[in-house]
Structure 1
Amino acid sequence: MDIEVRVETWPLANPFRITGRTYTEIDLVVAVVRDGEHEGYGEAAGVDYLGETPTSIAAEIETVRSAFAGGMDRTRLQSLLPIGGARNALDCALWDLEGARSRRPAWQDAGVTRPKPCLTTWTIGADAPDLVGERALAFADARAIKLKLTGDGLDAERVRAVRAARPDVWLGVDGNRGFTLAGLEKLMPVLVDARVSLVEQPLSVDLDADLTSFASPIPLAADESVQGLASLEALSDAFSVINIKLDKCGGLTEALAMVHTARARGMGVMVGNMLGTSLAMAPAFIVGQFCDVVDLDGPVLLRRDRVPGAQYGDGMIWCPDDLWGGPHSGASAGLHA
């Protein structure tokens, strides 16, 4: 097998603000794995808050190039690379390669009986309250919205603005580790009044223990507090939902294992993204078939997407087999931007 690695820059449609950072574009790594006759594609954004960059991801992929020369499969890859963006790109590329070889879609091997469109959240950054209200109205197709919060004193107004603009939608909020426990407690009545259904990662990871004494009236979801399968062992009991992201856990293979482990523990499961094109959404869409909450709106936030791309309509996402993981995927999904 041979590996090709590309770094691509994709501009966002609007600046996207979360706790501690505003994005205007995203840098992505695309890995292409070829066996001479077939090829498979995988995309990774990496985990920036853990120090991953496109340069570091590409360099990590290079460390296993010689191992791929002798042949590679997904099982062996798990032991060669740690969780993170590099393994995600290669793991997804191998899934895609398998689909090209077997002419059987990846969702069949993932245990999906028949894939269905998924209701997905549409994400609004932590902008000024009047602007987030405008964005909520602009997302006319959205039936579920996730609002980024920062703990900066404007969050109550942001939540009220979105709910006033869209009284009809499922609404979740993401603190991105920006809150203190006192700040969360103060905001909670506003969230309850606004019929918020999920609160994602309100506190810094090192403060998770503080949540054990807080009887939250709204389910709490762990994002940064849960990375790969091993991190489930130490996860605070305060969380009843986990947010699985392929960039965090190292690909579709481990993501599916996390779904089964979380379900066995009676937890809810969410699939999210680190921003990306439809090439990254497609394998996560397979995970979404098993999830309670799906947050795969990355391409919606971009100025443009790949062709072919994921299909969005009536608040739903659908990823056809010719996008990724099927007998007709490959160059069309990986090269056209």
Structure 2
Amino acid sequence: MLRQLIIEERRFPLAVPFRISRGVKLNADVVTVAMYQGDKCGRGEAVPYARYGESVASVIEQMEQLRPQLASGMGRDELLAQLPAGAARNALDAAMWDLESQLSGVPVWQRLARTPGTAVVTALTVGIDTPEQMGVAAARIAGVGLIKVKVDADDPAARIDAVRRAAPHARLIVDPNESWTIDLLRDMQGPLARARVDLLEQPLPADADDALLAFSGSVPICADEACHETRDLPRMRGRYQAINIKLDKTGGLTEAWRLLRAARSEGFKVMIGCMVCSSLGIAPALELAREAAFVDLDGPFWLQHDHPDGVQLQGGSLLPPPPGFWGG
């Protein structure tokens, strides 16, 4: 039976600006896929990311080029062979997982030999601002279990310290988004240790991380922009102690599941992250979240309006969407 494919751009305005070292985001611009076969429909969502040379237009063009093969029944393994890792493949892969589960009556969690989804502790993010305002933001969420602190190269110690004072008991992830130098990384070892930071995410530019080979710090370093898919893992050895897996980087749940297992077998800690997106982009990532040491899936909570039947936040715990939202 032939499939029908609907590809659309959707914009989700943010409730407040999202500031990181490379800029400010006011909207989440996503690409959604609805894949119909008979009376069943599989859905997927992806976030094109300019850091990886993507745009909404380029992602839609990648999908459209495969429309004939997709309509005639292309599977996930063939999709991996036809498209590189990235947002286009992620949205299509998610739609395929969802459609397969609807057609078979077997939910994704069961196909992965898992138990049904349960709540997980997710990081809540404090974006870049003045130390004073970051302290105010952290105080609002001080009771949660995990906070991610966005910083750049402008006095990161003051910003981290402000968050730690406002949230004395939360675990902390610090994320410079590639904005530090190796000298700044060395200088920050004392402040990171004093703030009891649990994880430092991608401090150096991905193309400058050879400097990490000769570096030994007080806080485990997590690869984000430097690691997209399983074939990147050999290069991570000696540089990083953890890997941030995002479906928009791996190109979907299929490759993300492989990367998760490979990273754990090689001794890396695993973090499951996301772009700023809706619950439709988060639902597939939740299938991996219970396997991770760190979960950072707060993307939907930056939106003014998410899907009403999507994920929910209870304290610092992320509750999965109800059955039928995605994945059976």
Match of 2:289 in 1: 288
Matched, 1:112 2:114: yes
Aligned residue number for residue 331 of structure 1:
none
- The 5 A counterparts of 1:157-306 are 157-306=158-307
Structure 1 residue 76 displacement after superposition: 1.6
Name 2:71's counterpart in structure 1: 69
Is the contact between residue 141 and residue 313 of structure 1 (CA under 8 Å) also seen in structure 2?
A: no
Preserved CA contact (<8 Å) 2:59 2:87: yes
The answer for the alignment partner of 1:317 in structure 2 is: 318
Equivalences, count: 325
Deviations 1:278-300 (A, max 9, x none): 00111001111211110000011
Counterparts of 1:139 and 1:254, CA distance in 2: 33
The DSSP-based 3-state class of the residue aligned with 1:275 is coil
Q: Report whether the alignment pairs 1:123 with 2:129.
A: no
Write the distance in 2 (CA, Å) between the matches of 1:271 and 1:315: 15
Contact 1:209 1:236 in 2 (8 A): no
Aligned 8 A contact 2:142 2:168 in 1:
no
What amino acid maps onto 1:103 in structure 2?
G
- One-letter amino acid of the structure 2 residue matched with residue 284 of structure 1: A
Give the Cα–Cα distance (whole angstroms) in 1 for the partners of residues 113 and 124 of structure 2: 27
Paired-residue identity, %? 39
Per-residue deviation, 1:100: 1.4
Q: Offset of 1:140 from its aligned partner?
A: 5.2
In 2: Cα distance, 1:184 partner to 1:88 partner: 33
Counterpart CA distance in 1 for 2:239 and 2:97 is 34
Query: Cα distance, 1:323 vs. partner?
Result: 2.1
CA distance in 1, matches of 2:237, 2:203: 13
Report the Cα distance in structure 2 between the residues aligned to 1:141 and 1:253, rounded to whole angstroms.
35
For 1:52 and 1:142, the matched residues in 2 are separated by 34
Question: In 1, Cα distance between the equivalents of 2:107 and 2:308?
Answer: 19
AA in 1 matched with 2:227:
V
Task: Report the Cα distance in structure 2 between the residues aligned to 1:322 and 1:112, rounded to whole angstroms.
Answer: 17
Q: 1:46 touches 1:274 (CA, 8 Å); kept in 2?
A: no
Aligned counterpart in structure 2 of residue 53 of structure 1, from 52, 55, 60 = 55
SS at match of 1:30: strand
1:109-157 Cα shifts (integer Å, max 9, x gaps): 12313432111000111111111111112225532100011112x2111
Shift of residue 258 of structure 1? 0.2
Distance 2:109 2:180 in 1: 38
Could you tell me which of 5, 8, 25 is aligned with 2:27?
Answer: 25
Indicate the SS of the match to 2:188.
Answer: helix
Structure 1-normalised TM-score?
A: 0.94
SS of match in other structure, 1:71: coil
Distance 1:259 1:38 in 2: 29
Aligned to 1:43: 45
- In the TM superposition, structure 1's runs of 4+ consecutive aligned residues that sit over 4 Å from their partners are none
Counterparts of 1:265 and 1:52, CA distance in 2: 30
- Tell me which amino acid in the other structure corresponds to 1:89: A
Counterpart residue number, 2:17 = 15
Gaps of 5+ in 2: none
Task: Tell me how far apart the structure 2 counterparts of residues 183 and 233 of structure 1 sit (CA, whole Å).
Answer: 26
Matched, 1:135 2:122: no
Preserved CA contact (<8 Å) 1:126 1:132: yes
Alpha-carbon distance in 2 for matches of 1:80, 1:12: 33
Whether contact under 8 Å (1:151, 1:178) holds in the other structure is yes
Whether the 8 Å CA contact 1:41–1:97 is kept in 2: the answer is: yes
